[in-house]
Structure formats: C-alpha cells, structure tokens
C-alpha cells in the first residue's frame, strides 16, 4: 500500500526497469530474511513482522507492471493484454499453492542445513522458492524487457525522454480532463473486490479447520489443492472474459462478476441442524486420545485437537457449513473474482487515458493492498468473535453495495478517448 504510489511515481520519470529490479530485489531479500526468523533468541515476532513488511513493500511493483501494459497497448488490445497478464498471475496462483502443498510433506521439523544455519521445513521452503523465482525475474527484466509505447489508436510512439517538456505538457493537459469521479469509483470497487478476496484467502484455513475438523497440515494441503483448482478455473475465465468483453463490453462483465461473487458468499451462510465438532467435547471424554502413551517407544505423544475451538462460543449454536457449500462457494468465487479483477483495472487504465499512469496505478494498487490489510483483521475479529453467519452476511452486503455503486455510476466508467469523442465506443 505504501510502496505502490512510490514505485508508480518512479516509473513515470525513469525507465520502468529500475523500480522493477529494485522492488524484486527487496522481495528476494525479505523472503530470505523470513527463512531465518527462527535464529534470533528474542523478538522473533518483530523479525517476522519486518520480513513480511518488506515482502509487501516489494510487491508494490504491480502498479509499474500495469501502467506499462496500459501504455504499451491500444484500447482494443487493452482488455486482452490485461487478461493475459492476469492469466499469468493465475498460473502463479496454481503453481504457488500446488508447490506449497507438495512442500508440506517436508513437515514442521524438516531438515537443518548446518553450513548456512538454515532450517528447511514446510514453512521456510516456500519462501526460499519464492526468492529463487525472484532472482529469475530480475534476470528476465534486465535481459529481456524492452519498453514499448503506443497511443489509444495503437500508433507507435517513439522512445520517451522522461524529463522532456513535451511529455510534461501532455500529462498536465490530460490531468485536468480525467473524470475524477470515475477514478474514485474505480478505486472503491477495486478495494471491495480485493477485500472480499482477502477475506476468502484468509478465512479458508480457520473455516475448514473449524467446520471439517481438519488438522493444520490437512488444511494447508487441501486448501492448497482447492486454490490450485481455482487457479485453473481462473485461466478459463480469462479466456471467456476476453471474448465476452469484446461482444458486450467491460462494464457488463464486471457487473456479472460481482453478481457471481455475491452468490458465492451468500451460499456460505450456515443453515440446518448439524453443528460443528467442538474440541473440548473430545478432550473431556477422550483424554487418552490427546495424551497417549506409546508402550513400544516408551514416550508420550500428543495428537492435535481438531474441530471448533471452545473459546469461539458461536460454535455451540451456529449450524455447520457443509463441504458441498464450501466447494460450491469456492467455485463461484473462482469465476467472479478473476472477471472482476481484470475488468476493474482494465477499465481504470482506459479511464485515465494517454498519460503516464504510474502514480494512478499506484493508488489503485494501494487501495487493493489496503483491502488485503483489512481483510485478515476482519476475519480475526468478526469471524472469530461472531462466527460465519455475521461474517458472510456483511461480505454479501458489501458486494451488493458494490453492485449498486457500479449501476449508479455505470455511465461514467468509460474510456478517456470515448469520453472526449476521439474514439467511438
């Protein structure tokens, strides 16, 4: 959230290669830092917080990437190019959780590489793999990326001198005529879209452990598989989105995606007369199960208690969410979210028009990052204290509010060139 406008401003005045390499290097260093958080004897939580903060700061380069794609495509190419970029992101969502699920078999203890004081386990291995991919990214940016610019009609623009007066004049001219209401609306919609996905991401593990009595390891494995399947589904959605947006336009696709997300969260509302398993119910009657004595090994072994924690009092009166509900919801959100995601920043880039979009894209990314910051807080407070009925009702209401906002300002969310009559929509 902090880094996106900074990197966006940097990309407006310097070659985009510079902020990209810098941000990826920060991300690589942060992932390595994260892998060594266990080493300090004190303040481990502080080191964990710092490592994740730097990972977040490095992720601010998304604004640079989106502004580059916006400047390198015509209006007709924009949706397809953004969808292709999102498909690559979805491929990352597939490979990331799939690899994490595979790496979960290393276990919590794992192995120790004494030469470099590294504890390689199911928690550190994904971070180290992310660092390795970051090094590959840096090499690709330095050796492959060539900056390219076209106008909204697709006509080639010569290489830009970032400090030239002509470029500044164009920026100032278009700055005054940008529809700021449409810009603000796009940011609000993107915030809501990213907020609900952050909630979806964050709530998957606690929800599945509470409702289905999965262990921590099962939750990591099964949710990794589910999110990987959603990633495959997203790639198909991006293919459909490219065709649908050409036929019916970007705004109807965005509206349809929000409606599908609403259905996905509405389905998760608990109903029926079955209740989740509560941990203390087994602890009272089956203490031998939780603290068993292995006569062969002569040692005590503790099994992980499963089910809804007793401190979550809503577990006693809130019906359980069924696995079929969970899978159906995941499927619907896996359709609606990618459609909304790609359409929101495609529309945004068209609204901004022919100007350096780094800062504006930075603000859009910052709004999404702010949503991803608040999403886990929402889960930890509303879900933990009040339960899924309140949590998913509020989310459904938020999505419904986004639909109303989009409908009320539908006529203003149009491309800059269309708004000024340069291109007929």
SS (H, E, C) the chain: CCHHHHHHHHHHHCCCHHHHHHHHHHHHHHHHHHHCCCCCCCCHHHHHHHHHHHHHHHHHHHHHHHHHHHHCCCHHHHHHHHHHHHHHHHHHHHHHHHHHHHHHHHCCCCEEEHHHCEEECCCHHHHHHHHHHHHHHHHHHHHCCCCCEECCCCCEECCCCCCCHHHHHHHHHHHHHCCHHHHHHHHHHHHHHHHHHHHHHHHHHHHHHHHHCCCHHHHHHHHHHHHHHHHHHHHHHHHHHHHHHHHHCHHHHHHHHHHHHHHHHHHCCCCCCCCCCEHHHHHHHCHHHHEEEECCCCEEEECCCCCECCCCHHHHCCCCCCHHHHHHHHHHHHHHHHHHHHHHHHHHHHHHCCCCCHHHHHHHHHHHHHHHHHHHHHHHHHHHHHCHHHHHHHHHHHHHHHHHHHHHCHHHCCCHHHHCCCCCC
Residue 347 to residues 38, 184, 250, Cα–Cα distance (Å) = 44, 12, 7
Q: What is the pLDDT of residue 197?
A: 86
Q: What is the pLDDT of residue 154?
A: 63
Q: What are the φ and ψ backbone dihedral angles of 17, each rounded to 5 degrees? A: -60, -35
- Average pLDDT, 10 consecutive residues per value, the chain (425 residues): 87 86 94 88 88 90 84 81 80 75 77 78 87 93 83 61 42 60 92 90 87 86 84 85 87 94 93 81 45 39 74 87 92 91 86 79 86 85 89 93 94 80 58
The residues with which 150 forms a beta bridge, in sequence order, are 156
Q: What is the pLDDT of residue 38?
A: 84
Domains of the chain: 3-276+318-419 (1.20.1250.20)
Q: Is residue 134 within 8 Å of 23, Cβ to Cβ?
A: no
> Of 231, 239, 213, nearest to 99 (Cα)?
231
Q: What is the pLDDT of residue 422?
A: 62
Q: What is the pLDDT of residues 108-119, one digit of tens each?
A: 777 777 777 788
> Of 108, 135, 144, nearest to 31 (Cα)?
135
Q: What is the pLDDT of residues 168-221, one digit of tens each?
A: 344 444 445 888 899 999 999 999 999 988 888 888 888 988 888 888 888 888
Q: What is the pLDDT of residue 295?
A: 39
Q: What is the pLDDT of residue 289?
A: 42
Q: What is the pLDDT of residue 190?
A: 92
Q: Is residue 298 within 8 Å of 249, Cβ to Cβ?
A: no
């Amino acid at each position: 959230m902090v880094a996106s406008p900074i990197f966006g401003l940097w990309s407006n005045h310097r070659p985009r290669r510079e902020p990209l390499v810098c941000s990826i290097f920060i991300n690589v260093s942060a992932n390595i830092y994260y892998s060594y958080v266990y080493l300090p004897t004190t303040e481990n939580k502080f080191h964990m917080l710092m490592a994740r903060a730097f990972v977040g700061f490095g992720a601010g380069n998304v604004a640079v990437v989106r502004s580059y794609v916006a400047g390198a495509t015509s209006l007709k190419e924009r949706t397809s190019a953004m969808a292709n970029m999102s498909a690559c992101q979805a491929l990352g969502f597939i490979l990331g959780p799939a690899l994490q699920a595979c790496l979960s078999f290393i276990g919590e203890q794992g192995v120790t590489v004494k030469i470099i004081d590294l504890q390689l386990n199911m928690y550190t291995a994904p971070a180290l793999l992310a660092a390795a991919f970051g090094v590959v990214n840096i090499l690709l940016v330095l050796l492959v990326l060539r900056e390219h610019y076209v106008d909204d009609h697709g006509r080639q623009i010569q290489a830009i001198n970032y400090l030239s007066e002509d470029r500044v004049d164009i920026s100032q001219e278009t700055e005054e005529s940008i529809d700021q209401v449409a810009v603000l609306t796009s940011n609000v919609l993107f915030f809501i879209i990213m907020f609900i996905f952050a909630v979806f991401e964050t709530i998957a593990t606690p929800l599945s452990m509470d409702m289905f009595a999965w262990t921590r390891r099962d939750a990591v494995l099964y949710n990794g598989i589910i999110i990987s399947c959603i990633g495959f589904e997203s790639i198909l959605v991006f293919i459909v989105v490219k065709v649908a947006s050409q036929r019916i336009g970007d705004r109807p696709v965005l509206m349809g995606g929000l409606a599908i997300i609403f259905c996905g969260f509405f389905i998760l509302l608990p109903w029926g007369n079955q209740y989740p398993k509560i941990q203390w119910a087994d602890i009272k009657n089956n203490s031998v199960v939780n603290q068993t004595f292995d006569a062969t090994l002569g040692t005590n072994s503790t099994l992980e208690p499963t089910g809804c924690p007793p401190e979550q009092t809503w577990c006693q009166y809130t019906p359980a969410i069924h696995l079929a509900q969970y899978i159906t919801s995941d499927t619907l959100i896996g359709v609606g979210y990618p459609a909304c995601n790609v359409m929101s920043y495609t529309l945004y880039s068209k609204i901004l028009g022919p100007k350096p979009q780094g800062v504006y894209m930075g603000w859009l990314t910052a709004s999404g990052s702010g949503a991803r910051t608040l999403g886990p807080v929402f889960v930890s407070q509303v879900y933990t204290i009040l339960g899924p009925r309140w949590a998913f009702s509020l989310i459904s209401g938020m999505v419904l509010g986004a639909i109303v906002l989009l409908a009320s300002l539908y006529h203003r969310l149009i491309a800059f060139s269309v708004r000024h009559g340069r291109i007929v929509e």
